[in-house]
Amino acid sequence: MNYYAVQVRTRGEEKYLKIARYLLDTYDLLPEWKGRFLWPRRKLTIRKRGVKKQSTLPIFPGYIFLESKELDPDVYQVLKKIRGFFRFLKNNQNIEPLTGADRRLLLHFLSFGEIVDKSTVYFDENKKIRVIQGPLKGLEGSIIKVDKRKGRAKVKLHLYDESFLIDFGFEAIEPAEVHHD
């Protein structure tokens, strides 16, 4: 299966997806297309004025993904006419599926579901973050900053030639005592 990245208006992903699904259904393109939309998101605790609230935010702001064997020209025509569409990646004349590190990164997050939960971490004796489980597992080298109070890790992600910083939530646990026999 191939994965295609579509750049859309940031914070307009949900609206774009709703319109895209409606139009593809209206034009009866969904049954023959055999593809699906993916919008990877993350759970994050946001505190405003002392009140904690659970939020679900995109992992890749301004991007949605199409999972399909190939990009149907009719589907392409419908998607590019929707308000909020910017481009397919690499560009509209050279639409390529994700490959290499980009594909691995998307599949890494999708392996935890379309909405990823917080990671479970602990801090070693050198105060370095160690990920036990969750979406941060395997991304330790990309962690730029850790905020223990907020329970967030800022991670540098790369998609095509762009890089951006994204906050992921974590829950810290105390490391179990290690006994050496």
Instruction: Flag whether 179 is in a domain.
Output: no
Domain count for the chain, please give it: 1
Which CATH number do you get for residue 32?
A: 3.30.70.940
Supply the range of the domain harboring residue 158.
Answer: 2-172
The 10s digit of each residue's pLDDT in 144-178 is 999 998 999 999 999 888 899 999 999 998 876 43
pTM: 0.87
**Rounded mean pLDDT of 127-146?**
93
The 10s digit of each residue's pLDDT in 14-56 is 999 999 989 888 877 666 667 899 999 999 988 889 898 999 9
The whole-number pLDDT of residue 64 equals 97
Residues 6+ apart with CB under 8 A from 172: 121, 122, 123, 148, 151
pLDDT band at 13 (very low <50, low <70, confident <90, very high): very high
Helix (H) or strand (E) holding 131: strand 129-133
